Structure 1
């Protein structure tokens, strides 16, 4: 099986995983069971209190239930405002992550070249990661708040427990994070330029090339110096030959001996 086919099937699987996670996260917003508490006032009547980001509800065993929205927006605590903002950001970024991934996948053939599609898919994976982390922070923060109030012996108000929506949100966020991680890693290797040493280097120019002679010279003398007159080079060569001849014969010759 070719590498392109494997990557295509991987993208389809990650897209389905992220889409399911996004649907689970969206389903928790209208659900009332973020927290719940059961209070038995009478033997035959039991009251159930439950709430979410938007309203409080109460129901009893007689079948009567009533929900009431929070009365004032400005009177709400900062914790509730932050959870609302993070939950909405998780839904919005998950939607755009699905659009980008659907455009950049290899099986759709909507984009241009392979590199362009890989970059679009990489952007979709990063957007899915942002959506998953926003959702995970929201549900974890909410759960930490509920558990802290429940185990605190000095907390005198009504204590609540974790509802089903928090666990559903954890599962959806985990699917978003895992699918976004795989998408961004595979698409990033294909679409982003790599800085590995295996890339073709620029050919060395003639001015910077080293010959065998200059390579063996010390670092201070490796720089090429242009000397216009060639008389010194010839004189240096004759002196070198004379020194070599002297070393072979063991005799020293001077210039006056030839005169």
Structure 2
């Protein structure tokens, strides 16, 4: 049962790791609102790296942000958090592959592999938390500017890139939680204990303590 949970956690973590890249590549983190506009001639949409504009004819033009230090603080922080999420996800995938019980990598030590898999679960949790903070912080600023009646700039709405980021964070957190749950019961108590072991002379030796062994009816002087 625990092996199945580990496989499910691996697929969840891998899917969340892929969605982080998809979210970063998506250009629609925020899109200019059409609320209250009768005639829309152009649409502006942005992500963490560039700003694009398209007109009613379908032509569009994109430009990268000129300077990192000229950007608002939340965009800089979101960039750093998303990159950290990719790094944490990479470490989580490697640790999970090594620590899975169905994997031959890392030997046959159940306790050690369980701890490595738990580390992978922690990395997936960190990936999910970083992604969740990045997209939620970005969305909070969009919402704040949208409902601010005195905001002079262009107002935006939440784009599909943020929803992809939220989906990635959810999968990563679920995968990390599954890994930690599967590794909870893997302790040294899981070793198999043998009470009896036959010797090469067809004698049976007991590993039970002397107090639990069967009493003997013969003393040492009974044999000649």
TM-score range normalised by the length of the shorter chain: 0.7 to 0.9
Please say if residues 131 and 176 of structure 1, whose CA atoms lie closer than 8 Å, have aligned partners that are also in contact. yes
- 1:187, CA displacement in angstroms? 1.1
Within-5 A mapping of 1:71-220: 71-112=66-107, 113-191=109-187
Once residues 97 and 172 of structure 2 are traced to their aligned partners in structure 1, the CA distance between those partners, rounded to angstroms, is: 15
Q: C-alpha displacement at 1:65, in angstroms? A: 0.6
Kept after mapping to 2: 8 A contact 1:55/1:69: yes
Deviations for 1:69-105, whole angstroms, at most 9, x for unmatched residues?
A: 1111222222111110001001111011011101110
Tell me the TM-score normalized by structure 1: 0.68
Query: CA distance change for structure 1 residues 155 and 192 in 2, over 3 Å: closer, same or farther?
Result: farther
Q: 1:48·1:60 contact (CA, 8 Å) conserved in 2? A: yes
Cα distance in 1 between the residues matched to 2:47 and 2:188: 42
Q: Which runs of at least 4 in structure 1 moved beyond 4 Å after TM superposition? A: 38-43
How many residues are aligned here?
A: 187
Contact 2:33 2:157 in 1 (8 A): no
Shift of 1:188: 3.6
TM normalised by structure 2 equals: 0.78
SS in 1 for 2:51: strand
Going from structure 1 to structure 2, the CA distance change for 1:191 and 1:81 (only over 3 Å counts) comes to farther
Kindly report the root-mean-square deviation, in angstroms, between the aligned alpha carbons of the 2 structures: 1.9
Instruction: Please say which structure displays the higher CA radius of gyration.
Output: 1
Given candidates 4, 8, 15, the residue that maps to 2:3 is 8
Per the TM alignment, residue 21 of structure 1 is displaced from its structure 2 partner at its CA by: 1.3
- Give ranges in structure 2 of 5+ residues lacking alignment: 190-224
